[in-house]
Every structure is written in C-alpha cells, then in structure tokens.
Amino acid sequence: MSKLENTLISINSLARPATDRTDAVAMLAVTLLYLVAVLSVPLYAPQRIIWLAVYPVVQSEVSGIGFLRVFLRSLWVLPLILLIGVFNPVLDTQTAFMVGDVAVSRGWVSLISIVLRGLLAMQAALLLAMSAGFYDMCGALRRFGCPRVLVTQLQFTYRYMAVITEEALWMDRARKARGFGRRNYPLRMWGRMVGQLLVRSYERAARVHRAMLSRGFDGSMPLSSRSRMTCRSWCFIAAWAAVVLLLRFADISSLLIKLKGI
C-alpha cells in the first residue's frame, strides 16, 4: 500500500467517530476546558504541565483508540513547536535551577514548556476528532455558537483534503502504469504533475459544488442528530472537569515531594 493510500485512509477514518461511547458535545466541552488549563499553566512550570497528560493518556485508552496512535500523530506538529521556542535558550540565559554542577537556564525550561503545551494541545484536538468524528465535532461547534461560515469552511477543507489526495492517488497510479518500473523522474515532470493536480482538483470541486447546489445546498451543512446531551454526557463532563481543574491548580509535584520528605 502506497503512502497516498495510507493518507487517504487516515483522512477518511476521521470522518466518523471511532466509538459511540462519548457524545461529541461532551468531548468538545472537556477539550476546550483542557486546552484552557494547559495554556494557562505558567511558562516556567513544566512539572505542572506534565500532570495534565493524564487526560489524553487515559481518555485515548478508554475510547479504544490507544495513546500510542494519538502520540505518534501529534508528532507532526513538533517541528513547528520547536520553531516557536528554538531561540529561547539563547535569549534567556538566566539560571532556573541546578542539576548537580550543571546550570539549567530559564530558556531551556520555557522551551520544554512550549513543547509540552503544543504536544498536549495537539493530542487533545486529535482525540476529539478521532473519538467524536470530524462531522459530529463540527456539529458540536455549531451548538456551541461557533459561526456557521467557519464551521462550513472547516467541513469543506476536510472534504477537499480527501479530494486532492484521491486525485493525486489516481495520477500516481497512472504514472506507475506508464512508467515501466521507473522511479526517478526529472524535476520538470513533477512540476507538470503538480499543475495537473491543481487543475483536476479544481474541476472536480466545481462538479461537486454544482451537484450540491442541485440538491438544495444553501451555504451550510445540516447538523448531525447524534449529538444529544444525556446524563452520561453530563457525568463525563463533570468527572473530567474535576480532574483537569485539580491537575491545573494543585501542585502535585510539590505535594509528592513533601509527602516523601515526611
């Protein structure tokens, strides 16, 4: 199976929920609370951010997705996160603490905090999309009061990611069928293929748009009827809200050190 086929399968797998155990609205509420908690932790306190990893680790296993799968996908944004804080160790050289005879600067501490924040936030977002499904997640955003234009744009962006990938897959198969096993091609040929991909994707998008208009599309997608709050959903929100708030405001690392000293 080629990389394009794996990419298309990955994109399509996010369309529908991986499990029916959790309501999309409840997952979105917990995710928003979790993101606020992660981003509000002081920059020079990475030991407090680490404890917030409990949510993606536990919830991914409870949902049947597996934390390893979520963690590996979250690494996609690691280069961007490192780019944000890569100069912190150079700009902030003030000593934060000592590890033996080695001085650790505040710049390194802030860089670690930025990496942890970014990865945990990305894991929470991935967990939301994989657990609730992308379309149910968009419906939950509408119920939370998110502008209709923004939600529709998100749905179209997701849909046409699959369209472009599918067009690229067909072109790749045609190239292999006519290449007689050849793998190396000149740069100008790849430029032509990219241009053809854009043209084919645009033409297909136009056909899809005309088909949608003929079926009564009025500028917004219909909401899913799956996202209905139940007693189980409220219990899910209450339980995770209590855990997240406890991990955010309680310095568990200091408490454990004090208990160990006692």
Most confident among 19-23, 40-44, 159-163, 238-242 (mean pLDDT): 238-242
Residue 181 confidence class, pLDDT cut points 50, 70, 90: low
Calpha distance 166→5 (Å, rounded): 8
- pLDDT score recorded for residue 222: 67
Measure the N-to-C terminal CA separation of the chain; round to a whole number of Å: 58
Calpha distance 140→42 (Å, rounded): 30
Higher-confidence residue of 75 and 101: namely: 75
Q: Is the pLDDT of residue 240 over 90?
A: yes
Q: Is the pLDDT of residue 91 over 60?
A: yes
Mean pLDDT computed over 193-217: 84
Specify the DSSP class assigned to residue 221: P
Is residue 33 within 8 A of residue 241, CB to CB? The reply is yes
- pLDDT score recorded for residue 223: 63
Calpha distance 244→35 (Å, rounded): 10
Q: Is the pLDDT of residue 224 over 70?
A: no
Domain spans, the chain: 21-146+230-257, 147-219
Q: Is the pLDDT of residue 33 over 60?
A: yes
- pLDDT score recorded for residue 180: 67
Report the mean per-residue pLDDT for the chain: 82
